[in-house]
């Protein structure tokens, strides 16, 4: 029997206050995610239960009980406090998927500070923009990533501490650096900061079309949504071994890779290593994974690897599969049902929504290619693009919209209230995606309503890449668009006009690619660079990305009346 039971029944009788009661929370009380994910589970008699099974690429293994998570998150909290870090201050987590990242997040939350998880693959520019915007006070990192922080340190006056979790003493600590070992001490008691429902918990950075990345501000009350969605969509149960393949630098890796499973007292496992079909299947076999939350890019890569590796491993422990991040191709659903004997269930949400909004629920009929239906308690519709009124006829494309008010909804964009306000029309929150509804009320994703590139589930802003390209010595101008890709759905493509003294060459192309990889990240790196003499522009001088995009996707170009040279 699934946790949700009947979807229709749950929609009819829904109330968030039932979750509050289940979690022993009364409005106005202290609610602290760090405490809920560790101390409370121990107090429920599960101190000895395994919270985390961890393994890295070298085969090194670690295991932590809920009591370990409680004690070590206390250790992190106490250490940060000893440095003078207090509630409301931003502490960045900049690490590979090491245990310190997962447990550290709870430690930060326990003292009421705000956690800012960032991908360790970020280069110095991507890192700087986000640390500067958040006014981050401390960064917790690993030796291998310190050099990136050092490069930008003098441009970050508010950054006081660089906390290194694996300092080996071989190299001297430099200015602002300090060594910290989570497992050196078990701090039995830590005074939990009395965070309330609306106290900020996490800032997650996400890319938009224009401007710098936006810091999405979440609060401790988001726990209510994350707990229930994980219970009903991921169907997490007492004896599950859960594997969320997402990195906590991405919202999926925190909402459903740290908070939800631990608030439910479930055992989860983490693989700190790159992708290969064999490595993943052998991980599932070794840990007897039962619930698997992954992404379409990974699923497409697994499809490409074929059925032969599937047969070499025992995957019989699997019982429920869920996907997020991009459109899940209907073929992927059909394939997984045939090959694993289980279909992937699509789920749709965003950094801004904080928790799953639309999904295919256990027990509900899956229509391959559809995202499913809104989560109980969520009013989700498709709006007319002109009037912002809900569309009632099935099959008509419009904007996805939600009635605000669910617990995990972002509270604002950090230092950017104007952009936040602009996400609402007629009292609806607009995630910026287009979809259509069918006669049964299922949502079918159509596309984004902006130029943001979704590469393998990661959002890349063309603006950010264009800005970085301009810093390259040979680039005069550039336009960045999405290009279709079999595995990643979209990849970054750059059209580049060179400065007068430079000639196009393959060498220069590689140099530009590497420049972006180092400055931003491997994901933001253009997979292709096309040299052009001039970029198509409007009469007012704006680059017409739409034109270049249409060319890449073989689409109609549409209205070009404002094109400069027509
Ligand atoms: C959790 C997460 C959000 C954007 C979202 C949409 C796309 C996410 C999807 C999907 C089609 C799905 N997206 N899930 N598109 N089907 N099931 O992905 O957060 O990184 O903020 O991205 O990703 O465009 O608006 P985030």
Task: State the CATH number of the domain containing residue 29.
Answer: 3.40.50.12780
**pLDDT of 534:** 87
Strands 161-164 and 177-179: parallel
For tokens 């290194």, what's the residue?
164
Tell me if 442 is assigned to some domain.
no
Domain that holds residue 494: 451-553
Q: Indicate if 233 and 370 belong to the same structural domain.
A: yes
Ligand 1 neighbourhood includes 252 CB (under 6 angstroms): yes
**pLDDT of 566:** 39
pTM of the model: 0.93
Last residue of a domain, one of 403, 437, 471: 437
Q: Indicate if 461 and 391 belong to the same structural domain.
A: no
Q: Indicate if 221 and 309 belong to the same structural domain.
A: yes
Last residue of a domain, one of 411, 437, 463: 437
Q: Which of 349, 359, 436 is the pocket-test mutation for ligand 1 (most atoms within 8 Å of CB)?
A: 349
Q: Indicate if 371 and 472 belong to the same structural domain.
A: no
pLDDT tens digits in sequence order for the chain, 566 residues long? 899 999 999 999 999 999 999 999 999 999 999 999 999 999 999 999 999 999 999 999 999 999 999 999 999 999 999 999 999 999 999 999 999 999 999 999 999 999 999 999 999 999 999 999 999 999 999 999 999 999 999 999 999 999 999 999 898 999 999 999 999 999 999 999 999 999 999 999 998 777 789 999 999 999 999 999 999 999 999 999 999 999 999 999 999 999 999 999 999 999 999 999 999 999 999 999 999 999 999 999 999 999 999 999 999 999 999 999 999 989 999 999 999 999 999 999 999 999 999 999 999 999 999 999 999 999 999 999 999 999 989 999 999 999 999 999 999 999 999 999 999 999 999 999 999 999 999 999 998 888 889 999 899 988 889 989 989 999 988 999 999 999 999 999 999 999 999 999 999 999 999 999 999 999 999 999 999 998 887 766 667 788 898 889 888 766 665 565 53
Tell me if 513 is assigned to some domain.
yes
Q: Which of 402, 433, 456 is the pocket-test mutation for ligand 1 (most atoms within 8 Å of CB)?
A: 433
Ligand 1 neighbourhood includes 464 CB (under 6 angstroms): no
Q: Indicate if 390 and 468 belong to the same structural domain.
A: no
Nearby residues of 211 by Cβ (< 8 Å), 6 or more positions away: 419, 463
- Which sign, positive or negative, has the C-alpha torsion 57, 62, 66, 67? negative
Q: Burial, 102: exposed, middle or buried (Cβ in 10 Å; 0-12, 13-18, 19+)?
A: buried
Ligand 1 neighbourhood includes 431 CB (under 6 angstroms): yes
Tell me if 562 is assigned to some domain.
no
Q: Indicate if 376 and 521 belong to the same structural domain.
A: no
Whole-number Å distance, alpha carbon 454 to ligand 1 midpoint, is 8
Last residue of a domain, one of 383, 413, 437: 437
Q: Indicate if 411 and 482 belong to the same structural domain.
A: no
**pLDDT of 258:** 98
Tell me if 535 is assigned to some domain.
yes
Q: Indicate if 460 and 426 belong to the same structural domain.
A: no
**pLDDT of 526:** 97
Tell me if 561 is assigned to some domain.
no
**pLDDT of 546:** 82
Copy the structure tokens of residue 195: 């965070």
Q: Indicate if 508 and 411 belong to the same structural domain.
A: no
Name the packing angle between helices 296-305 and 330-339 (round to 10°).
50
**pLDDT of 318:** 98
Q: Indicate if 237 and 382 belong to the same structural domain.
A: yes
Distances 429 to 353, 357, 420, 422, 456 between C-alpha atoms, Å: 9, 12, 10, 9, 25
Residue with CA nearest ligand 1 atom 23: 325
Tell me if 560 is assigned to some domain.
no
Tell me if 495 is assigned to some domain.
yes
Q: Indicate if 401 and 503 belong to the same structural domain.
A: no
**Strand (E) positions, 45-143?**
50-56, 61-65, 90-94, 114-117, 138-141
Q: Indicate if 241 and 349 belong to the same structural domain.
A: yes
Ligand 1 neighbourhood includes 370 CB (under 6 angstroms): no
Q: Domain count for the chain, please give it.
A: 2
Q: How many residues does the chain have?
A: 566
Please check whether residue 374 is in contact with residue 349, taking contact to mean a CB–CB distance below 8 angstroms: no
Q: Which of 204, 294, 457 is the pocket-test mutation for ligand 1 (most atoms within 8 Å of CB)?
A: 457
Tell me if 385 is assigned to some domain.
yes
**pLDDT of 315:** 98
């Amino acid at each position: 029997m699934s946790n949700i039971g009947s979807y229709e029944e749950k929609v009819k009788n829904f109330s968030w206050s039932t979750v509050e009661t289940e979690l022993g929370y009364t409005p106005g009380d202290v609610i602290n995610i760090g405490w809920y994910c560790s101390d409370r589970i121990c107090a429920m008699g599960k101190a000895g239960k395994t919270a985390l099974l961890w393994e890295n690429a070298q085969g090194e293994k670690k295991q932590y009980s809920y009591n370990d998570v409680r004690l070590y998150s206390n250790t992190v909290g106490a250490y940060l406090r000893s440095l003078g870090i207090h509630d409301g201050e931003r502490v960045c987590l900049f690490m590979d998927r090491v245990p310190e990242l997962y447990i550290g997040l709870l430690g930060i939350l326990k003292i009421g500070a705000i956690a800012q998880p960032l991908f360790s693959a970020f280069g110095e520019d991507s890192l700087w923009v986000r640390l500067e915007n958040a006014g981050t006070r401390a960064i917790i990192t690993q030796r291998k990533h310190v050099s990136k922080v050092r490069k930008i340190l003098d441009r970050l006056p508010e950054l006081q501490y660089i906390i290194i979790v694996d300092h080996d003493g071989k190299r001297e600590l430099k200015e602002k650096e300090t060594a910290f070992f989570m497992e050196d001490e078990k701090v039995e008691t830590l005074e939990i900061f009395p965070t309330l429902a609306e106290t900020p918990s996490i800032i997650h950075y996400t890319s938009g079309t224009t401007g710098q990345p936006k810091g999405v501000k979440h609060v401790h009350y988001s726990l209510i949504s994350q707990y229930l969605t994980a219970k009903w969509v991921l169907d997490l149960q007492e004896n599950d071994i859960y594997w969320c393949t997402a990195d906590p630098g991405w919202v999926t890796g925190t909402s459903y890779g740290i908070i939800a499973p631990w608030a439910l007292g479930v055992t989860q496992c983490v693989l700190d290593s790159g992708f290969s079909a064999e490595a993943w299947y052998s991980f599932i076999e070794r840990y007897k994974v039962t619930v698997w939350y992954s992404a379409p890019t990974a699923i497409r890569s697994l499809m490409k690897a074929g059925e032969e590796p599937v047969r070499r491993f025992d995957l019989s422990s699997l019982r429920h599969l869920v996907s997020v991040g991009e459109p899940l191709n209907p073929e992927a659903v059909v394939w997984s049902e045939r090959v694993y004997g289980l279909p992937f269930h699509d789920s749709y949400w965003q950094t801004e929504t904080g928790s799953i909004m639309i999904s295919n629920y256990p027990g509900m009929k899956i229509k391959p290619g559809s995202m499913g239906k809104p989560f109980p308690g969520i009013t989700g519709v498709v709006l007319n693009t002109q009037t912002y009124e809900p569309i009632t006829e099935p099959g008509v494309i419009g904007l996805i919209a939600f009635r605000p008010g669910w617990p995990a909804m972002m509270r604002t964009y950090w230092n950017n209230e104007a952009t936040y306000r602009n996400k609402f029309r007629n009292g609806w929150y607009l995630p910026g995606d287009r979809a259509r509804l069918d006669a049964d009320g299922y949502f079918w994703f159509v596309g984004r309503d902006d130029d943001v590139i979704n590469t393998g589930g990661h959002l890349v802003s063309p603006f950010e890449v264009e800005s970085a390209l301009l810093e390259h010595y040979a680039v005069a101008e550039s336009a960045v668009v999405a290009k279709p890709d079999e595995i990643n759905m979209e990849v970054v493509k750059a059209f580049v006009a060179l400065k007068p003294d430079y000639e196009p060459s393959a060498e220069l192309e590689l140099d530009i690619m590497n420049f972006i990889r180092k400055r931003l990240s491997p994901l933001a790196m253009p997979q292709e660079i096309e040299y052009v003499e001039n970029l198509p522009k409007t009469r007012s001088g704006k680059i017409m990305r739409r034109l270049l995009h249409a060319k890449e996707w073989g689409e109609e170009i549409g209205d070009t009346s404002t094109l400069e040279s027509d």
